[in-house]
């Protein structure tokens, strides 16, 4: 590998009495933690505790803002205007950064969640709104976006906004031919087999091609790999992947 690829995981997604994921076990295995900010998951105490856990393990903290959709876990597409999206991203970013600053650190990047993340791939106005929020909050604050077969559009809009980009790929999701994530409604959209997840992750890390959902070769250039850590099986995969990447 020409450069070390980072591992990231969505965390802090518990809410009240509802528990999601095992952050305490996943946190030591990753480089970046994308923390829910209260709109799709997370509450103030969960945010505070997860920030402290990330600081304890030296993990970079990313804000994981979403549409205001607690009951749908942020996976429903809401008809928010660009102005609303800019405001809701700033609101969530500020909330999480308050806990970061109290813990002696700060938000290192922004990674939108769920439906908002996917909408940025298709809607220039929404992507520009999130870029404006990043630029307004702190100059140089990076935005994490989906690594596609061609990210020329994202690079052009980010350069105009003066926002650095981080490109993300997924070890446990199937892809369409253009690099977009296969919709979850499709069979096989989420990989369950540990070896398939590992094979796809290592191919991306090495800059090699891997099969898309139709079996055709796809190659992505990414800075960070997302692996979900919300069950014992995925945690085992995350441990194996951490070891393989560290040994490469």
Residues 158-213 have pLDDT tens digits of 999 999 999 999 999 999 999 999 998 898 898 888 899 999 999 999 999 999 99
| Helices vs strands, H then E, count in the chain | 8, 9
Backbone angles phi, psi at 170, to 5 degrees: -120, 130
Q: Would you state the pLDDT for residue 37?
A: 98
Q: Does domain 6-170+221-228 have CATH number 3.20.20.370?
A: yes
Q: Would you state the pLDDT for residue 230?
A: 63
Residue 82 contacts residue 89 (beta carbons within 8 Å)? no
Q: What pLDDT, in 10s, does the model give residues 37-81?
A: 999 999 999 999 999 999 999 999 999 999 999 999 999 999 999
Inform me whether the pLDDT recorded for 231 exceeds 90. Answer: no
Q: What pLDDT, in 10s, does the model give residues 127-165?
A: 999 999 999 999 999 999 999 999 999 999 999 999 999
Q: Where are the domains of the chain?
A: 6-170+221-228
Locus of tokens 């095992």: 22
State the Cα–Cα distance between residues 160 and 78, nearest whole angstrom: 26
Length reported for the chain: 248
Helix crossing, 124-137 with 152-161: angle to 10°? Answer: 40
């Amino acid at each position: 590998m020409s450069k070390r690829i980072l591992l990231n995981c969505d965390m802090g997604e518990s809410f009240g009495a509802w528990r999601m994921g095992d952050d305490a076990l996943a946190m030591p295995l990753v480089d970046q933690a994308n923390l829910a900010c209260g709109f799709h998951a997370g509450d103030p105490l969960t945010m505070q505790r997860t920030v402290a856990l990330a600081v304890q393990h030296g993990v970079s903290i990313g804000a994981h803002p979403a549409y205001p959709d607690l009951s749908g876990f942020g996976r429903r597409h809401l008809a928010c205007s660009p102005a609303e999206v800019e405001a809701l991203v700033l609101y969530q970013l500020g909330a999480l950064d308050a806990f970061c600053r109290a813990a002696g650190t700060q938000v290192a990047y922004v990674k939108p969640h769920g439906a908002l993340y996917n909408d940025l791939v298709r809607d220039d106005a929404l992507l520009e709104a999130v870029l404006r929020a990043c630029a307004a909050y702190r100059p140089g604050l990076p935005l994490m976006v989906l690594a596609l077969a061609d990210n020329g559009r994202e690079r052009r809009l980010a350069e105009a906004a003066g926002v650095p980009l981080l490109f993300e790929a997924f070890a446990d999701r199937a892809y369409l031919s253009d690099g977009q994530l296969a919709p979850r409604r499709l069979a096989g959209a989420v990989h369950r087999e540990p070896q398939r997840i590992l094979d796809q992750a290592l191919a991306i890390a090495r800059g090699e091609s891997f099969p898309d959902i139709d079996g055709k070769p796809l190659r992505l250039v990414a800075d960070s790999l997302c692996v979900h850590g919300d069950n014992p099986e995925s945690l085992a995969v995350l441990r194996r992947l951490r070891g393989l990447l560290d040994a490469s």
